[in-house]
Amino acid sequence: MNEKVISCKALTKRFGDFTAVDAITFEVEKGEIFGFLGANGAGKTTAMRMLCGLSNPTSGEAKIAGFDIYKETEKIKKSIGYMSQKFSLYDDLTVQENITFFAGIYGLSDKAIKENSAALLKQLGMEDQADKRVSSLPLGWKQKLAFSTAIIHKPEIVFLDEPTGGVDPVTRRQFWDLIYEASGNGITIFVTTHYMDEAEYCNRVSIMVDGKVEALDTPTNLKKQFSVTTMDEVFYHLAREAKRGE
């Protein structure tokens, strides 16, 4: 289990004079749950957008699922899933239509769509809701559905951008159960979050400050390193040194 699914070296993004992401270097292993933390404006979203192929890096190297971030973006796109912080399903379509649509644009065959979506609905216990409009579902269900839809094509990596924003603690817990299950199936999870209890759930955590990765280790080691008892304190310790404002 030492296969590297994400590896970046000195990955940098500049917007004019402003260096949003400053030479970040890290690796993520297959099946790992990798927490990508940072205060607002630290450069998390920009970094993630580069890794997803939504934004071109200014310099540096990166390989996603073994594909080069500059030359093989199309192959990368096929091997990743993505769930944004905004709600990412279509409200006016039914649960089943949403699943079919997203599976469809990833080029799954009709048979695979049928099988995968049946399995997905069963896993979420949403068989009865299949023909309901997504707008009628509670937020927690929507988030779970969005996550499951993001991995319907069985990607190698799934990028989650603050997936649990505005969700109640119980649903958040259930959401993490889904994440663990996916990780158990060999899907690598790359997740940004503002909730420090969620950081504790991750295998490893990186903390970005002012565009740089300031700390990267397991939550346990990080706490040891800064001689504190919670991730909250680790984060506070690092983030208060930030010079950038919001």
**Sites of contact with another protein (CB under 8 A):** 52-56, 74, 77-78, 80, 82-93, 97, 100-102, 104-107, 150, 159
State in angstroms the smallest separation of the CB of 146 from another protein: 9
State in angstroms the smallest separation of the CB of 27 from another protein: 21
Q: How far is CA 97 from CA 30, 91, 101, 133, 185, in A?
A: 31, 10, 6, 9, 25
Q: Which is nearer to another protein, 58 or 230 (CB)?
A: 58
Q: Which is nearer to another protein, 7 or 79 (CB)?
A: 79
CA angle 134, 135, 136 (to 5 degrees): 90
SS3 185: coil
Instruction: Return the closest-CA partner of residue 92 out of 148, 136, 146.
Output: 136
Q: Which is nearer to another protein, 136 or 218 (CB)?
A: 136
Q: Quote the CA–CA distance of 75 and 97 in Å, as a whole number.
A: 26
- Residue 190 CB partners (closer than 8 Å, separation 6+): 6, 28, 34, 36, 48, 51, 157, 158, 159, 160
State in angstroms the smallest separation of the CB of 190 from another protein: 12
Q: Which is nearer to another protein, 43 or 57 (CB)?
A: 57
State in angstroms the smallest separation of the CB of 52 from another protein: 5
- Residue 15 CB partners (closer than 8 Å, separation 6+): none
State in angstroms the smallest separation of the CB of 137 from another protein: 15
State in angstroms the smallest separation of the CB of 77 from another protein: 4
Q: Which is nearer to another protein, 175 or 201 (CB)?
A: 175
Cβ–Cβ < 8 Å for 120, 152:
yes
Name the H helices within the chain. 44-52, 73-79, 95-105, 110-124, 139-150, 169-184, 196-201, 219-225, 231-239
Q: Which is nearer to another protein, 25 or 79 (CB)?
A: 79
Amino acid occupying residue 184: G
CA max distance for the chain: 54
